[in-house]
Amino acid sequence: MSFVLFVLVFFVFLVFLLLLFHYGTNGRKYWLHRRVPYREPCPIFGNFGATLTLRRSYPEMLQYFYEKYKDEKFLGIFQARRPTLMVMDLDVVKSILTKDFSSFSDRISVSTDTQREPLLRNLANMSGVEWRAMRHIVTPSFSPAMMKAMFPLIADCAHELKEILLEESTHEVDVPNMMSRYTTDVIGSCAFGVNPGSIKNSESPFLKMSKKMFRADRTTVLKRYCRTFFPRLFKFLNLRTYSPDVETFFTSIIKQVLTERRETGKVRNDFLQLMLNVQKTETKFHMTDELITSNSFIFMLAGLETSATTLSFCLYQLAKDEHLQSELRAEINECVRRHGGLNYEAVSAMRLVAQSVQETLRLHPPTPMTTRLCTAAGTLPSTDLALRVKDNVLIPIYCIQRDPDHFPDPDKFDPHRFSEDLYPPGFLAFGEGPRSCPGVRFGQLMVAAGLAAVLGRFAVGPSARTTPRVQHDPRSFMLKNKGGIWLHFQPIQERFSEL
C-alpha cells in the first residue's frame, strides 16, 4: 500500500513539474518564430535567474547581453515569461523615444490595482490621455522660474548638510546614508511642504519611512519580481508594493498639509502648491486629493534615491582625483563670490560642476534602463522587424552610455568630455522625448547645490573602507555599490561666509 501511495505521490509531483515547466516556457520560441536573435530562456526565470537569485546585478546581466550581441541592432530576451526586445542601436533607440514616440507612448506597465494601492496612480504609472493631462500639469512645476523660486529651500538644506558634516567628518562617513538625509529634506520641503529634519536627526521618522520604500532585501526583491511578472499571484497573496505603514505615513502628512493650507490660506513655492492651484482652477482635469497625494509621493520616489546615489558616486569619483576636485572647488568659490552666495545664479553658472554631474550619470546611471510599450503596430524604425501592439521594448541606458563607440575610454571618469555638449547623442540618463524625466532641472540643482556646499568646505578623500572599484549590489534595481561608499571629509581651514 505504501508503494502505491509513493507511486501516486511521485506521479502527481511529476505532473506538477511538467505543468510548471510548460507554464514557465510557454512562448519561449516567441522571438525565434519572428526571426529575431534571442537568448533561450530558463523556465520561470527567463534570462534573469542570476539576478533573482542575487548572483549578478541587473546592469551586469544587461551588459553581458549587450557585449555578446554587440553587432545586432536588437536582441530578444525574456524577463520571466515576458518576451522583451532589447534595442541596442542608438539610432533606433532615438527614433523610439522621439520621432516615432506616438507608436511607443507608454512605458511597460505593471498591473496596478489603484483601488487597493492608491499611491500607485501617479505620472509614472499613467498612460494614454490621463498621462498626457497629468504631464501637462506637472511640467510647469519644473520651469526655470519655479526652480529659481524654489532654490532657497534647496540652499537651506545644502547649508545644513555642510554643518552636519563639520560635526561628523572626524569619522568615516557613510556617504549614501548622508546624501539620503540631504535629499530627503530637500524633497520633503519642495514636494510635501514640510521639514523632515533628516539631516540633523538620522532617526527622523520621515527618513525611516523613506528608507523603507527603498529597502533591498531578498523578500523585497521576490515581492517586486512577483508584482512585475506574476501580478495575479501578487494580488491573490494580497501583497502590497509598499508596506501599509509607509502608505499611512505619507498619506497622513500630505493630508495634514492640504488641510492647513486650505484653512490658513498659506502659499508656498513647492510642488504641492502647484497641484492645489490646479485643483482650484482646472476644469478639464479633475485633480482630486488622492491624485495630489500619489503624485507628491512619486516626486519623492523618483527624486530622493536617484539624486542621493548620483551625489554619492560623484563624491566617490572625486575622492580619487584630487586635481579634478581642486578644479571644481575653484569654480565653486569663484561663482559663489561673483553672485554673492550659494544662490540659483551661482549654481547655474557652475559649468564644471554640471559636467561632473553628467559624467557621474553617464558612468553610474541610477536607473540602468528604461522601457517602452508598442502602442501602434508597425515596423521598428530603421529595421524590417514588424512590431505588434503590446510588444515590450527595453533600452539599456547603462550599456549604451558605456559603449566606446559613443564615449571613448568609457570606464574613465572625465567630466571634460561634456565640455562642448551637456547632452551628447549617447547620453540617455534622463531618457529622451515626451516621456523623459520632467524633473531634470530640479535633480540637477539639488545635486549641484549639495556638491557646492560640500566641496567648498571639505577636501574629500578615500577612507579605510573605501572600495577600490565599484561592484553593483544585486539586491538593488538602482545602481548601488555593494560595499557602500565610505569617504573621509577633511574641513578646509579657509571658510567663505557666502557658503
Other residues' Cβ atoms within 10 Å of the Cβ of residue 24:
17
According to DSSP, the β-strands at 378-379 and 370-373 are unpaired
Provide φ and ψ at 87, rounded to 5°.
-95, 125
Distances in whole angstroms, Cα of residue 275 to Cα of each of 31, 244, 267: 44, 25, 12
Other residues' Cβ atoms within 10 Å of the Cβ of residue 43:
17
Other residues' Cβ atoms within 10 Å of the Cβ of residue 274:
18
Is 399 assigned to a binding site? no
Burial of residue 129 (CB within 10 Å: 0-12, 13-18, 19+) is exposed
Query: Which set of grid coordinates corresponds to residue 348?
Result: 547655474
User: How far apart are alpha carbons 374 and 320 in whole angstroms?
Assistant: 43
Query: Which set of grid coordinates corresponds to residue 441?
Result: 532641472
**Residues near 473 by Cβ (< 8 Å), separated by ≥ 6?**
57, 216, 480, 481, 482
Cβ atoms of 423 and 368 closer than 8 Å: no
- If DSSP codes are grouped into helix, strand and coil, which group holds residue 149? helix
Annotated binding site: 437
Annotated binding site for heme: 437
